[in-house]
Structure 1
Amino acid sequence: MRLVRSELLKIRTTSVWWIFALITLPLWGLTLFINYIQASFYLNPTIPQDQISPDQQAQIAAAGDPVNVAASFYTNGQLLSLMIIMLLGIIVVTSEFFHQTVTTTFLTTPHRTAVVLAKLAAGALLGLAFWIVTTVLNIATGGLILGHFGLGSQLGEGAVWQAIGLNGLAYLLWTAIGVGLGVLIRSQIGATVTGIMLYLGGYIGALIVIGVLANRFGDWINKLQLIVPSLASQLMVTGTNLPGNPPRWAGAAVLIGYAVVAGVIGTLIMRRRDVS
């Protein structure tokens, strides 16, 4: 606990966390607006039925299910907030190298594994705080918007609370992935740019590639989104399993695998790497 408190103190005494919090707020508002537009379409689709395939009709109908609409609002902002949390995880580690305090840290606590675990725990607590704040905002605004659509709050549905809980798990896992990247790439700028490219570049690139392949070879290609971390975390927060997509638990399992691999490899490298 002493090491965790020390890492939390390092985070609190820098301006990075609240700068990221200020960045998160307008991004959250932007995604809320996008969610509103999407929900309006799914609840009242304007595409003629004869212009889309039966599989696409089923997907649109499922996305317009009140439980799925509610889940999207109660987990609003996940895509960009998870990237922010990942970057915070990176900075928790790389700031030590950037400010050249890592040698002092390891001289004070020579057990490097314990230091990495403390950074993971501190990052996880920070990620949990971001999740709690965004969830409170989502429940407050989501309930109003769902009432506007005449759907009710849907908070009595277990699937909605599962989506909210899995969203919290995604925050924790992306923090771990960020810490792992920070250990693998000690340069703060290098790790940050790499993390953004892997997260957003992988997300956009995978959507384009999977979309093209699905049109050519069939909707079963959509299941490949499971191997892309940023898409796997989105899959976790669907209210119900959507037609043509992998189940939610599969997205959680894949993301846990990425977080464990990043954490283990990062810890092993940190134990062996010269930090002088």
Structure 2
Amino acid sequence: MSLTAATRSETTKQFSTAMWWILALVLAVYVGFTAAVLGYVFAAAATGSLGGEAPPLPEDGLAGTLYSTATAVGYVFPLLIGTLMVTAEFRHKTLTPTFLATPRRGRVLWAKLLVGVLLGVLYGVVGIAASVGASAGFLLANDLDAELTSPEIWAQFGRMLLAYVLWVLIGIGVGALVRNQVGAIVGVLVFTQFLEPVGRAAAAFVDGLAEYTRYLPGAASDALAGASVFSMGVPADSSSTLEWWAGGAVLLGYAVVLVVLGHLLSWRRDVS
């Protein structure tokens, strides 16, 4: 079977189940709710109407920071769908007939990567639309600039789409390396929702630790996006933050290493 046919088969396989749109729906709700809450608070703080002793927020860059919610908190969803693309096949034993139809296993993996790019773009559009739709209204309601015509904002959207694509590819690498679906999903959630956030939070209090935590995948993703709700207090020229291109290179490096390791250590083993 050619790569084109394998990719067509993989596309049908992924979009014939409900998992992709269920995760996309949850992504939209989760990102939209988070962006709406932050949009209300940040817009009120920027205009001084929040009340209490809350410090005022600068208006410059506020829109981009709110829109970055799509990648700052939503990146786990493309990571999960990429992982499920592979582990679901191991769990349900559908990979056996796939390999019988396409004996060249590398071609099957390439097909998954190509479909992963498509899913990454799709999830990126959903996440960005949810963050912009939920937060731009609060900016406009408070007479703040939503910057929707700014070239810088649209460049940020492009980088965020790239981040989503890379997260799906990382998920495919994780799924190829860790065959057990439960183990892979638990590992993804523990790392993204506990280990890395704790490490990045600790970097604010431990001297020199930020030099290492900035190379973590979540931090690299934030750097690629160029903005993050988790780094509002970090100066733009801080050495604890990578340049956007360096963040993209680090994230791509994670994807390449995981996919290659998955192919070498697990993908070529027996599946039954």
Residue pair 2:32, 2:131 contacting (<8 A) in 1 also: no
Moved more, 30-39 or 111-120: 30-39
Pairwise CA distance, 1:42: 5.5
Match of 1:226 in 2: 214
The one of 9, 12, 19 aligned to 1:9 = 12
Match of 2:236 in 1: 242
Residue pair 2:45, 2:54 contacting (<8 A) in 1 also: no
The one of 145, 151, 157 aligned to 1:158 = 151
Distance 1:174 1:156 in 2: 27
For residues 164-184 of structure 1, the C-alpha deviation after alignment (integer angstroms, 9 at most, x for no partner) is: 111101100000110000011
Pairwise CA distance, 1:116: 0.6
Residue pair 1:88, 1:175 contacting (<8 A) in 2 also: yes
Distance 1:29 1:155 in 2: 17
Change over 3 Å in CA distance of 1:74–1:80 after alignment to 2? closer
Pairwise CA distance, 1:65: 4.4
Match of 2:232 in 1: none
2:271 aligned with 1:275, yes or no? Answer: yes
The one of 23, 32, 36 aligned to 1:33 = 36
Q: Give runs of ≥4 in structure 1 deviating > 6 Å.
A: none
Question: Which amino acid is 2:268 matched to?
Answer: R
Distance 1:149 1:250 in 2: 35
Pairwise CA distance, 1:236: 2.2
For residues 48-92 of structure 1, the C-alpha deviation after alignment (integer angstroms, 9 at most, x for no partner) is: 7xxxxxxxxxxx97xx343x2111233333233210111111110
Distance 2:198 2:130 in 1: 30
Q: How does 1:51-130 map to 2 (within 5 A)?
A: 64-66=58-60, 68-130=61-123
Pairwise CA distance, 1:223: 4.3
Residue pair 2:105, 2:268 contacting (<8 A) in 1 also: no
Match of 2:257 in 1: 261
Change over 3 Å in CA distance of 1:140–1:38 after alignment to 2? closer
Question: Which amino acid is 1:131 matched to?
Answer: G
Distance 2:47 2:203 in 1: 25
The count of residues paired between Structure 1 and Structure 2 equals 257
Question: Which amino acid is 1:275 matched to?
Answer: V
Scaled by the length of structure 1, what TM-score is found?
Answer: 0.83
Question: Which amino acid is 1:254 matched to?
Answer: V
Pairwise CA distance, 1:100: 0.9
Q: The residue matched to 1:81 in structure 2 has which SS?
A: coil
Q: Extract unaligned runs of 5+ from structure 2.
A: 229-234
Q: Extract unaligned runs of 5+ from structure 1.
A: 49-59
The one of 123, 133, 151 aligned to 2:126 = 133
For residues 95-148 of structure 1, the C-alpha deviation after alignment (integer angstroms, 9 at most, x for no partner) is: 111111111111110111110111111122112111112323444444322222
Q: Percent identity?
A: 32
Scaled by the length of structure 2, what TM-score is found?
Answer: 0.84
Distance 1:11 1:125 in 2: 11
Distance 1:271 1:185 in 2: 10
Match of 1:145 in 2: 138
Q: The residue matched to 2:214 in structure 1 has which SS?
A: helix
Higher helix proportion: 1
